[in-house]
Amino acid sequence: MSQIILATTSKYRQALFKRLAIPFQAIGPNVNEDAFKNKGLSLVELTETLALLKARDLAKKYPDSIIIGSDQAVGFIDQVFSKPGTADKAIEQLQSLSGKIHQLVTSVAIIQGSKEVLFHQVTLLKMRELSLSQIQNYIKLDNPLDCAGSYKIEEHGIALFESVDGQDFNSIIGLPLMETLSKLKSEFQVDFL
């Protein structure tokens, strides 16, 4: 089996991929994500572009390996929410999402040689109505400053939501495992278990 490289430094994506019991290596790609965030792209266009760029960056260096790149973003009305980076920005994002439905798009690009497979999943999430003190308490609990949308749904962040509608819950955390495994098996003949 070809070596699999996850084009990421994300500890969340690495932990998810480990659940597939397929050997892999994680290497961070060299992509300036900020250069694409103000170009007026839709969530799907933005995340697919970045997933492809991440995978292509490493595919140049490791042409015989199977490279998996992924990206995600949260969208609400005409805003794109990336990783907040600060507690103030996280408060602002969570106040905007409070009581409302938003989209989380996760895109995945899988490349080996000249073969490229690209897909995305859209998850709709309805957040509960949250007070400022609830938001501040939540941020202290999970410190979600490195998460799109300012929440870690796999931890205490689940309490922020009324409903989640999507194909694969893992997609919210950073990598849709079921479809990724299906594509690896059908398109790249990766065996598992």
Average pLDDT over residues 179-186: 97
Of all residues in the chain, the percent with pLDDT exceeding 90 is 89
pLDDT given at position 78: 83
Residue 114 inside a domain? The answer is yes
Residue 193 inside a domain? The answer is no
pLDDT given at position 38: 80
HEC string of 47-108 equals: HHHHHHHHHHHHHHHCCCCEEEEEEEEEEECCEEECCCCCHHHHHHHHHHHCCCEEEEEEEE
As a whole number, the mean pLDDT across the chain is 96
Residues 85-116 have pLDDT tens digits of 999 999 999 999 999 999 999 999 999 999 99
CA separation, residue 95 to residues 89, 90, 98, 158 (Å): 10, 8, 5, 16
Joined tokens for residue 38: 């103000």
Residue of 173, 98, 82 whose CA lies nearest to 135: 98
Question: Which domain range does residue 159 map to?
Answer: 4-188
Residue of 173, 125, 190, 192 whose CA lies nearest to 8: 173
Average pLDDT over residues 165-192: 96
pLDDT given at position 28: 97
Confidence bin at 134 (pLDDT 50/70/90): very high
Q: Would you call 166 exposed, middle or buried from its count of C-beta atoms within 10 A (0-12, 13-18, 19+)?
A: middle
Residue 63 inside a domain? The answer is yes
Average pLDDT over residues 113-139: 98
Number of domains in the chain: 1
Active site residues: 71
Residue 84 C-beta-side C-alpha neighbours within 13 Å: 20
Residue 116 inside a domain? The answer is yes
Residue 74 inside a domain? The answer is yes
Residue 57 inside a domain? The answer is yes
Average pLDDT over residues 59-79: 94
| CATH number of residue 48's parent domain | 3.90.950.10
pLDDT given at position 37: 82
Q: Which pTM value belongs to this model?
A: 0.94
Other CB atoms within 10 A of residue 106 CB: 29
Residues 30-67 have pLDDT tens digits of 999 989 988 889 999 999 999 999 999 999 999 999 99
